[in-house]
Amino acid sequence: MAKTIAINAGSSSLKWTLYEMPAEETIASGIVERIGLDNSIFTIKYGEGKKYEDVLDINNHEIAVELLLEKLDDLGVLTDINEIEGVGHRVVAGGEIFSESSLITDEVIEQIESLNDLAPLHNPANVTGIRAFKKVLPNITSVAVFDTSFHQTMPAVNYLYSLPYEYYEDFDARKYGAHGTSHQFVAERAAEILDKPFEDLKIITCHLGNGASITAVENGKSIDTSMGFTPLAGVTMGTRTGDIDASLIPYLMNRLELTDVQDMIDIFNNQSGLKGISGVSSDMRDLEAAEAEGNERAEIALRIFEDRVRNYVAQYMVKMEGADAIVFTAGIGENAPETRQNIINNFKFLGIELDEEKNNVRGKERIISTDDSKVKVILIPTDEELVIARDVEYFKNLAN
């Protein structure tokens, strides 16, 4: 049976999901963590609730891929590694080169590497994953799926910064956005739920996870999104600032006695957001618990998060002159009813309202607005790996 594996490679990790295609059935999933360090952790979930776990030293991604295939064979998940006919790789930055997914060739790998400056942490790691699979399974259909592609339809008015125009022309300094596969997946699903053509709808998608972004999808296309040149911009996130005044960079560097601007950017990426404000945690569950115990900084962190998301939703509603649906997805969007309620509460004056009972749900696809709400609010679990597997299937079919 034909199988496709969706890969999300990090600098020291390899996250994967194995699908039976075209049935879109998940066969197994797992993660290899701490690659290149001592005591790498190897986890496979398969069958009905079965789990395999091992701790061993895995020196690089190539060895991780070899071990993974061997183990899938040993566990009987695969009868033969040649059952895997396709691999899809998540790539974070596709710049202006990739407005859609692409078959991976040597030239494509070079192009992805040429975009390393746009995602210095992610793109090199993604290429490591690509090369590892190329080495171990050289002849299967291999596809790169970009987080930025879906947003390549944004008009210049929305992707340009108010900077000297030459910086865009000469240095590619513009908004690219991220989470594109997720925004596209849930927006298309919303159209199916509403039973209307995707091309006729105005949808605002809120991907609220540890990373968070909001997208305006008009007539089936992303026309604006909250993340920017990199995923640092937009709403408050688990550990990222979201939008801030650039003048804070020299001011804080001075106060903190930092000389390397990268150290400042690291603080904006890793020590800020919900974690930085609350001093408690980057994790929504911890913040909810701390708020319940009366922790004021956890409370203000939660209110700031809701406020920034709400601002973007309002902005995009005006930009599109209305909306047919507002979608919530990802860890927080799917699992935090109170956060959803607090975000939507302010839209009552526009006739947009959540049904308290319907909203009291976690992780299940459902319309959560009242029957007469002017805009449908929908909870849709995202599935970025499935989008990757579908894109591989598309290229496999083209080749046959």
| Interface ranges with ligand AMP (CB under 6 A) | 209-210, 238, 283-285, 330-332, 335-336, 362
Q: Provide the 10 A C-beta neighbour count for residue 47.
A: 13
- The residue annotated as part of the active site, out of 38, 74, 117, 147, is 147
Nearer residue to ligand AMP within complex by CB, 136 or 336: 336
Nearer residue to ligand AMP within complex by CB, 285 or 364: 285
**Under 8 Å between Cβ of 187 and 390:** no
Name the E strands within 96-168: 102-103, 141-146
- Within its chain, how far is the Cα of 142 from the centroid? 21
By beta carbon distance, the residue nearest ligand AMP is: 331
Nearer residue to ligand AMP within complex by CB, 284 or 301: 284
Smallest distance, ligand AMP to C-beta of residue 397, A = 30
CA distances from 344 to 23, 38, 352 (A): 37, 46, 7
- Would residue 147 show up in a list of annotated catalytic residues for this protein? yes
> Look-up: residue for tokens 């701490």?
34
Q: What are phi and psi of 338, to 5 degrees?
A: -65, -40
Smallest distance, ligand AMP to C-beta of residue 275, A = 10
Smallest distance, ligand AMP to C-beta of residue 283, A = 4
Using DSSP's 3-state secondary structure scheme, residue 359 falls into helix
Nearer residue to ligand AMP within complex by CB, 204 or 206: 206
Residues 6+ apart with CB under 8 A from 397: none
Smallest distance, ligand AMP to C-beta of residue 20, A = 24
Nearer residue to ligand AMP within complex by CB, 7 or 336: 336
| Residue 25 parent element (H or E) | strand 25-33
Nearer residue to ligand AMP within complex by CB, 135 or 285: 285
- Within its chain, how far is the Cα of 366 from the centroid? 21
CA distances from 25 to 44, 69, 285 (A): 16, 19, 30
Beta bridge partners of 88: 6, 143
Nearest-CA neighbor of 26 among 333, 388, 331, 362? 388
Smallest distance, ligand AMP to C-beta of residue 32, A = 18
Smallest distance, ligand AMP to C-beta of residue 139, A = 34
Q: Provide the 10 A C-beta neighbour count for residue 167.
A: 13
Give the residue numbers marked as catalytic. Answer: 147
